[in-house]
Chain A
Amino acid sequence: MSKSNTNGAVTFVPTLANTEQPLALSLQELLLTGRITPAGAKLHVRHTFRSAHDKPVEVVYAFMLPRDGALRRFRIVGKDFRVNSELKPVKEAVREYEQALEQGSLAGLARTYRDGLVNLNLGNLRPDETVVVWLELLAGVELHERGFRFRFPFTVAPAYHSQMRAVEVAPGVGEIELPEEFGDVLLPTWTQDAQKLHAVGFNLKVSLPGTNVEISSPSHAVRVRQGEKDRFEVSLAPERDVPNRDLVLDARSREPLQLVSGGPASNGKRYFAVNIPASVFGKVPEAARRIVFVLDRSGSMADLPLKQAKQALLACLGALSEKDQFSIVAFDDQVECFTPNLVLADAEHREQAREFLGSIDSRGGTELAQGIQAAASILGDGGGDVLVITDGQVFGTEDILASVRKLGVRIHALGIGSASQDRFLAQLARESKGISRFLTPRERVSDATLELFAAVGRPVADQVRWQIVGPAEAMIAPEPSSLIHAGSTVLVFVEVTGDDPAVLQVSWLSPEGAKQTEIPLNAGTVQDGEIIRLMQGARLINDLESRITVMPSIRETESEVSSKEEQKLFQSLKQLSQEYGLASRAMALVAVVQRTDDVPGQLPHTQVVPVGLPQDVEFGAYFRSNLYSFTANSARLIRRHSSRAQARYLCSALDLSTWDPMVYGFPVASEDDSDQSSDQSSEDVLLTLAGLIEPDGGMPARIIASSAGKPVTAKRVRLRGKKDAEGRWLATALALMCFLQHGHTLHSGQYRHHVQRLLDYLQNSPLTIADSRKQDLVARLSRGEVPAGDWEQLLRRWLAGDAISASSFWASVVTQTA
């Protein structure tokens, strides 16, 4: 699809699938610019539209809002015009847009729907005309103690709803239609091959104070340039990219960051954003946990995401102590529970849990609420935590939030996916005072999972109270959580009236007793209260929207919403929108460009901009699996059919071996997904080790390897190994040395809890007490000293099934020590 012109330069020529016909794309390019800070991001997206049709077109571009996102305004720029949007109630904005189209004028309409979906409409784009729409929006970031993760959706993730209809309309092109309750939202068409679509790019300014700040991206190749002080310029390294995944940017500093930013805003008030890392509140207490893991096994998790999710769960099982109680729920549109009640995390239960996980494959829809409901009933009245591992690819998230809200359980979310649903997962966790992290399927699961897991069930502060001291009038909104989890950072928005000095006073209950701290709200490095004000507005709008399950009617004769309760919420939403000047489901943005030669009454050709299927989402999971979706819309009929299995089955059943798979349209993927453990990186080895730790903190004596070279622990071998105390001691010491050697100590690194447990095991082992050589080694290890040597190599051999020879182990230790 890239063709060389006569100068030898490569030009981008989108073509139609199968044929080499040029594709008449109306959206040519999307460029993301703006500034990202630990308080949030202010972004500008440049959409370049150009019509290749011979009559006027109406282009509809559907996209997802990022976490805590809200649209502020847009500007339409053409050859000799430049028009800014206005914020109007939805009904009025739609009317204005329609009237403009009737008059033959160019018009833009940006309207938010449920789940944070936006339709950006550009009507009456003339043949060969180029129009640029600059869209300004606010977005939140996922805060960590040492920095943040920013996500921006360049594509929309297809998602599940019990009444959706999904079909493959052309080879490799899928469509999803939602029931009427979603209003007149238009979803994009998804194409398997994003190379044929519009180009995307970005050029962002990232600021993060702190030392040794590191900027990276697990999703794109980026070029980072450090500007003055704590500012960085991050841009896409290649010239262009395709819309098939989110942009994910990480900014990390070496130490936890407490920050105050803000200042005076346009309305005369002062606005502050305060980032407070959890370490300010204290250390993670040692306490037994009650936890239910909820694993999404739906069709959309097929292959890589499910594999990653299972790996994450295995690592969490390894971090459980014998006093912890746990269970597992696996759900698609049915729920399967590991146990009906919580069980102790002893050796037997953990082995059974591993076997249970081994039997889980991907299938079916994503009935998340049912999964969480099952987890809540397992927890019963005793309370506890739910850790959901999901791609969050669901429509109708407001309904899920409503049903989960009633359960009153604390939910933490580990999202996995290359396209953003973290807006929803952030809401899900925040509403229940939990925390959330979102991974991309290709990045290592260990860091985020274990960091998240270490925090779950052991809050560092409870009953946190927030107040402003000093000025007569001040407000904290939205209300920050009263529960603080390790590894997280709380973001507090403060609005202050008047010029009196203000102090944020925080008091809380920690395991050591009542505590308090004060943070003066001096304008920080950024004197930009206006941006903070907008970010606060975006947060408030998101929080309120998550409680509204309906779409406003745009019919002239009807009231916007019928139910009284929703009417009230809608009124509040409208007020919020007006106060902050931000669009929401109640208020839309509209702009009209009148031109002298407008031809009234012409009907533009409506065109929906296609997007790429997110990387690592299997096309068949949505568009080839639900054989019945067009004959019945029951959730139960949107059933499991892995596309590959289906292809194989159909081909064999109908003797279709002679069919051309390309024409037939089935994926021609290889069957063999087997792991090659020899290819495992050091991080993979550590992750495997973490998952193998026994409840008593020690390692098993031996591993037997499967034929594929993948380590498999057999219960039989483990039980026999239990008697082999010497073998276990050696394996444990080796594992501990390996963790230490890779920089994971008792106090730092995401494996610190594993390190602690391994060390505890060795220190308490009767073998250590009886042997001075062992005592010496354990004492050194407890100080973080590791005898030099290739312990990882030894461990890899052990993981492959070799026993550790005591004599060679001690020989290495002694040699290296000498």
Chain B
Amino acid sequence: MRAIEQEHRQEERPSEWLSLRELAQRTGCPARTIRFYIARGLLPGPIKAGRDAKYGPEHERRIEHIRRLQRQGLTLAEIAFRLGEHTPSDTALSATLWWRIEVAPDLVVHLRHDMPPWRRHLIDHWLKQLQRLLQNPQEPSHKESNHEQV
């Protein structure tokens, strides 16, 4: 998100700026959905806020990117994560809680305590796979996923 804000500042080409209606027409993404993306932090707010808000080409690109990721089966929560909403805070001296998980006697994994639950479920799943694999290296790793499909 920070990157796009910087781009905004550089993006001083008002000729390419669009109104929300134009952005919706251009991307095929309904205006309400664009507002929803902005509210969810998937898209930055307008380049020029307040009266006569304007949007730039980066908005257009990013909407297309979001749509593409959605079609691949990603949820908005994961897309927001990928787009960098969850980069760790760089404020110095802020304390963070971490879970320490012993996957094997010689392997420890640390997980941030405040990660979203969906991501936690995903990581748990892969850690479980990893642990199995470490315990029984002969077992083909795809066996588990086949089992899930039964």
Binding site for B on A (CB under 8 A): 58, 60, 94, 98, 101-102, 121, 165, 167-171, 175, 177, 180, 184, 186, 554-557, 599-608, 624, 627-633, 636-637, 639-640, 649-650, 653-656, 659, 663-665
B124 touching A177, Cβ below 8 Å: no
Chain B nearest CB, measured from A516 CB (Å): 55
> Does B14 sit at the interface, judged by CB under 8 A?
no
B32 touching A603, Cβ below 8 Å: no
Interface set, chain B 87-126, CB cutoff 8 A to A: 99, 101-103, 113, 116-118, 120-122, 124-125
B128 touching A665, Cβ below 8 Å: no
Interface set, chain B 29-66, CB cutoff 8 A to A: 30-33, 35-36, 38-39, 45-46, 49-53
B35 touching A168, Cβ below 8 Å: no
Given contacts A167-B77, A555-B25, A655-B102, contact A600 B52 (CB under 8 A): yes
Residues in B neighbouring A168, C-beta threshold 8 A: 116-118, 121
Residues in B neighbouring A58, C-beta threshold 8 A: 32, 35
Given contacts A606-B35, A650-B128, contact A557 B75 (CB under 8 A): no
B131 touching A653, Cβ below 8 Å: yes
Residues in B neighbouring A171, C-beta threshold 8 A: 117
Which 9 A-B residue pairs are closest in the complex by CB-CB distance?
A: A633-B73, A167-B118, A168-B117, A601-B52, A606-B35, A606-B39, A601-B51, A184-B30, A165-B75
Chain B nearest CB, measured from A24 CB (Å): 12
Q: Which of B25, B33, B78 contacts A630 (CB 8 A)?
A: B78
Chain B nearest CB, measured from A692 CB (Å): 33
- Interface membership of chain B positions 60-89, coded 1 if the CB is closer than 8 angstroms to chain A and 0 otherwise: 000000000011111111100000000000
5 contacts between A and B (CB under 8 A): A167-B75, A180-B71, A599-B50, A630-B118, A654-B128
Q: In the complex, what distance in Å separates the CA atom of A184 from the CA atom of B36?
A: 11
Q: In the complex, what distance in Å separates the CA atom of A659 from the CA atom of B120?
A: 13
Q: In the complex, what distance in Å separates the CA atom of A177 from the CA atom of B15?
A: 35
Interface set, chain B 118-146, CB cutoff 8 A to A: 118, 120-122, 124-125, 127-128, 131-132
Q: In the complex, what distance in Å separates the CA atom of A632 from the CA atom of B75?
A: 10
Q: In the complex, what distance in Å separates the CA atom of A600 from the CA atom of B117?
A: 39
A169 touching B20, Cβ below 8 Å: no
A98 touching B75, Cβ below 8 Å: no
Q: In the complex, what distance in Å separates the CA atom of A554 from the CA atom of B25?
A: 10
Q: In the complex, what distance in Å separates the CA atom of A103 from the CA atom of B74?
A: 34
A624 touching B121, Cβ below 8 Å: yes
A165 touching B73, Cβ below 8 Å: yes
Q: In the complex, what distance in Å separates the CA atom of A51 from the CA atom of B122?
A: 36
B101 touching A656, Cβ below 8 Å: yes
Q: Which of B71, B73, B113 contacts A629 (CB 8 A)?
A: B73
A121 touching B117, Cβ below 8 Å: no
Residues in A neighbouring B33, C-beta threshold 8 A: 184
> Does B16 sit at the interface, judged by CB under 8 A?
no
Q: Which residue of B lies closest to A641 (CB)?
A: B148
B77 touching A169, Cβ below 8 Å: yes
| Chain B, interface SS category | helix
A175 touching B113, Cβ below 8 Å: no
B124 touching A556, Cβ below 8 Å: no
Q: Which residue of B lies closest to A608 (CB)?
A: B36
Q: Which residue of B lies closest to A557 (CB)?
A: B25
B51 touching A603, Cβ below 8 Å: no
Residues in B neighbouring A180, C-beta threshold 8 A: 71
Q: Which residue of A lies closest to B72 (CB)?
A: A633
Chain A nearest CB, measured from B97 CB (Å): 9
B117 touching A665, Cβ below 8 Å: yes
> Does B149 sit at the interface, judged by CB under 8 A?
yes
Q: In the complex, what distance in Å separates the CA atom of A630 from the CA atom of B128?
A: 18
Q: In the complex, what distance in Å separates the CA atom of A591 from the CA atom of B141?
A: 58
Q: Which of B21, B32, B50, B75 contacts A121 (CB 8 A)?
A: B32
Q: Which of B24, B36, B124, B127 contacts A186 (CB 8 A)?
A: B36
Residues in B neighbouring A650, C-beta threshold 8 A: 124, 128
B99 touching A659, Cβ below 8 Å: yes
Q: Which residue of B lies closest to A334 (CB)?
A: B150
Q: In the complex, what distance in Å separates the CA atom of A490 from the CA atom of B117?
A: 49
B46 touching A603, Cβ below 8 Å: yes
Chain B nearest CB, measured from A165 CB (Å): 5
Chain B nearest CB, measured from A67 CB (Å): 28
Q: In the complex, what distance in Å separates the CA atom of A629 from the CA atom of B28?
A: 25
Q: Which of A170, A602, A628, A653 contacts B116 (CB 8 A)?
A: A170
Q: Which of A94, A606, A629 contacts B38 (CB 8 A)?
A: A606
Chain A nearest CB, measured from B15 CB (Å): 19
Chain B nearest CB, measured from A589 CB (Å): 16
A601 touching B53, Cβ below 8 Å: yes
Q: In the complex, what distance in Å separates the CA atom of A654 from the CA atom of B35?
A: 41
Chain A nearest CB, measured from B119 CB (Å): 9
Q: In the complex, what distance in Å separates the CA atom of A169 from the CA atom of B21?
A: 30
Q: Which of B35, B72, B75, B125 contacts A627 (CB 8 A)?
A: B125
Residues in B neighbouring A98, C-beta threshold 8 A: 20-21, 24, 31-32
Residues in A neighbouring B120, C-beta threshold 8 A: 664-665
Residues in A neighbouring B124, C-beta threshold 8 A: 650, 654
Q: In the complex, what distance in Å separates the CA atom of A556 from the CA atom of B26?
A: 11
Q: In the complex, what distance in Å separates the CA atom of A664 from the CA atom of B38?
A: 29
A603 touching B20, Cβ below 8 Å: yes
Q: In the complex, what distance in Å separates the CA atom of A273 from the CA atom of B30?
A: 41
Q: In the complex, what distance in Å separates the CA atom of A26 from the CA atom of B122?
A: 32
A606 touching B36, Cβ below 8 Å: yes
Chain A nearest CB, measured from B63 CB (Å): 13
Residues in B neighbouring A659, C-beta threshold 8 A: 99
Given contacts A184-B32, A633-B73, contact A556 B25 (CB under 8 A): yes
A603 touching B35, Cβ below 8 Å: yes
B49 touching A603, Cβ below 8 Å: yes
Chain A nearest CB, measured from B125 CB (Å): 5
A654 touching B131, Cβ below 8 Å: yes
A102 touching B117, Cβ below 8 Å: no
Q: Which residue of A lies closest to B109 (CB)?
A: A654
Chain A nearest CB, measured from B110 CB (Å): 13
Residues in A neighbouring B102, C-beta threshold 8 A: 654-655
Q: In the complex, what distance in Å separates the CA atom of A650 from the CA atom of B125?
A: 8
Chain A nearest CB, measured from B106 CB (Å): 14
Given contacts A102-B21, A607-B39, A654-B131, contact A601 B77 (CB under 8 A): no
Given contacts A624-B121, A659-B99, contact A601 B75 (CB under 8 A): no
Residues in B neighbouring A556, C-beta threshold 8 A: 25
B148 touching A177, Cβ below 8 Å: no
Residues in A neighbouring B49, C-beta threshold 8 A: 603
